[in-house]
Structure 1
Amino acid sequence: MATTQQNPLDDPAADPFQIAAHAAEQLAAATGVAVHDIALTLGSGWAKAADLLGETVATIPATEIAGFSAPALTGHVGNLRSIRLADGRHALVIGARTHFYEGHGVRRVVHSVRTAAAAGAKTMVLTNGAGGIKDHWTPGTPVLISDHLNLTAASPLEGATFIDLTDLYSARLRAVAREVDPTLDDGVYVQFRGPHYETPAEVQYAKTIGGHIVGMSTALEAIAARQAGMEVLGFSLITNLAAGISPDPLSHAEVLQAGKDAEPVISDLLARVVAKL
């Protein structure tokens, strides 16, 4: 059993892909599902979508699977859930995101994505709660991620590994999402290291260089998904206007509340999108 104290990914000599393959084998044994076709990481505000996707086959604590860490963030459930969709496919729902700001290293941040790929998933749906830079986005607005700016100064790629990130956030999958909801806006997601919220000056910097959404997750996971050959769909729930865009100070409690308030609508949206993927 993996624990946060003895995680195999913390050994720099270990192969993270071998650990992901082992994790996928453990996942198959624990769930009784040999192949998961699609994977979803459900961030703040998105967790209830799992209840609408289909029939839950198994729910297991993430820490029972090699390489996974217990979530540090309130509002994240720490489980891996196997769900049979209406068309017979299986979805792996990841409720155990490791954030970069936790200080465990990039390997742990992207382990869930690599495990999903090793489990057979060809599509990776990445969701988050984030701050909005466009001032017409009200809290509770779901937004498609069209691209990202990685300001973490880190990458999940190791050594001389060169991966093309053109169309990283699949235009095809975004078009499918818009078949479900034609009103969906999109924007460029900016991942900061965190855990502090961005300053107003940093938000203006992000805006100047082309960003529309600010947060502390997703970009590193998306890169790992592309390396693994998966097609990526990204969703942000705008939980608040970013610092300086809103006249009010930022509050984590308010972010969680905005996610909770939006849950019924965005969960239904995501479930309907997944049915079409």
Structure 2
Amino acid sequence: MTAAKAAAEILARAPGVRPRVGIVLGSGLGGVADRVEGATAVPYAELPGFPVPAVEGHAGRLVLGTLSGCPVAVMQGRVHAYEGAGFAALKTAVRALKLAGCEALMLTCAAGSLRREVGPGRLMLITDHINLLGANPLAGPNDDAFGPRFPSLTDAWDPDLRARLKDRAAGLGIPLAEGVYAACLGPSFETPAEVRMLSVLGADAVGMSTVPECIVARHCGLRVAGVAVITNLGVGLSDEPVDHDHTLRNAASAAADLERLLTGFLADHVNGWTAGDEAQP
């Protein structure tokens, strides 16, 4: 099994580090990995079955060590459905983190806001999602070793972890919006009509990632939380340009708040952030 081989390689590369939390860093947000202490960086290309990103802003390496005292595995970059390689590598990566010891997965991404009051530079806690990718990473034969054929996505974005992130953001004075994230295939940005449609459907932000990782993680029993970095307003809501360079610039401007939130959250709960919760399978 490729995921098991990747997990074994992860543990072999950083002896003594058994990660409890996996973190996926989105476009322009790779700086969080620089905060990892005792870091061992492993290129994805050296991990069996791992994805190799081809998009600017995604370094393509796994950083192992501790963050605020919590053992972590930080995925510095991801692949996207629009790259055309399917979901096999994404499933391998998420499941390898589970087998290596992770109990939860923290997802981050760059996103466009569908609400004018939540503009570029803000953080949005993901409360739910809408999958408009046209595909599901669990389609095809089910691997019963990881999860059921028909997994529930009720509370896919863990309510308890969300509450703890909200508390930490408030303590740090970081404005933290909340909302529903819609995942579209891309790579083209949305049209003004599509932005209006997404708002009608109940989405608060839109991007091209994150949902597949959430689905795979919940299928294999990982708890999931997510924070979107708002890099722009949706087309038609602002005169600002919407392009990838713009996304990277605005992601960098919000990265400091994201780093403070993640490191503070992990520090708060390093000795029992899952205490009192049901044991995960």
TM-score, normalised via structure 2 length = 0.87
Which of 147, 169, 188 pairs up with 1:181? 169
Query: What are structure 1's unaligned runs of at least 5 residues?
Result: 1-17
Match of 2:136 in 1: 155
The whole-number CA distance in structure 2 between the counterparts of 1:216 and 1:60 is 25
1:71 aligns with 2:53: yes
Match of 1:168 in 2: 156
Deviation digits for residues 210-240 of structure 1 (CA, Å, limit 9, x no counterpart): 1011000000110000001011011100000
The whole-number CA distance in structure 1 between the counterparts of 2:76 and 2:92 is 13
Which of 202, 211, 216 pairs up with 2:194? 202
| Paired AA for residue 237 in structure 2 | I
1:37 aligns with 2:25: no
Match of 1:50 in 2: 33
| Contact residue 106 and residue 154 of structure 1 kept, 8 A | no
Match of 2:89 in 1: 108
1:223 aligns with 2:224: no
The whole-number CA distance in structure 2 between the counterparts of 1:82 and 1:228 is 21
| Contact residue 122 and residue 177 of structure 2 kept, 8 A | no
Q: Matched residue pairs, number?
A: 258
Residue pairs, 1:107-126, within 5 angstroms: 107-126=88-107
Match of 2:63 in 1: 81
1:249 aligns with 2:237: no
The whole-number CA distance in structure 2 between the counterparts of 1:80 and 1:200 is 37
| Paired AA for residue 115 in structure 2 | K
Q: SS of the counterpart of 2:230?
A: strand
| Paired AA for residue 165 in structure 1 | L
Match of 1:13 in 2: none
| Contact residue 189 and residue 215 of structure 1 kept, 8 A | yes
The whole-number CA distance in structure 2 between the counterparts of 1:84 and 1:34 is 8
| Contact residue 133 and residue 203 of structure 1 kept, 8 A | yes
Q: SS of the counterpart of 1:256?
A: helix
Deviation digits for residues 152-190 of structure 1 (CA, Å, limit 9, x no counterpart): 121121346100001100110011011111342111000
Aligned pair in 2 of structure 1 residues 251, 57: CA closer, same or farther (>3 Å)? closer
| Contact residue 132 and residue 214 of structure 1 kept, 8 A | yes
Aligned pair in 2 of structure 1 residues 120, 267: CA closer, same or farther (>3 Å)? same
The whole-number CA distance in structure 1 between the counterparts of 2:16 and 2:204 is 39
The whole-number CA distance in structure 2 between the counterparts of 1:268 and 1:34 is 23
The whole-number CA distance in structure 2 between the counterparts of 1:267 and 1:48 is 8
Aligned pair in 2 of structure 1 residues 249, 57: CA closer, same or farther (>3 Å)? closer
TM-score, normalised via structure 1 length = 0.88
The whole-number CA distance in structure 2 between the counterparts of 1:224 and 1:199 is 29
- Pick which of 106-115 and 62-71 moved more: 106-115
The whole-number CA distance in structure 2 between the counterparts of 1:80 and 1:192 is 26
Which of 90, 104, 119 pairs up with 2:71? 90
| Paired AA for residue 199 in structure 1 | T
The whole-number CA distance in structure 2 between the counterparts of 1:86 and 1:130 is 26
TM superposition shift of 1:44 = 2.0
The whole-number CA distance in structure 2 between the counterparts of 1:41 and 1:56 is 19
Deviation digits for residues 196-220 of structure 1 (CA, Å, limit 9, x no counterpart): 1011111111111110110000001
| Paired AA for residue 54 in structure 2 | A
Q: SS of the counterpart of 2:85?
A: coil
Match of 2:145 in 1: none
| Paired AA for residue 63 in structure 1 | A
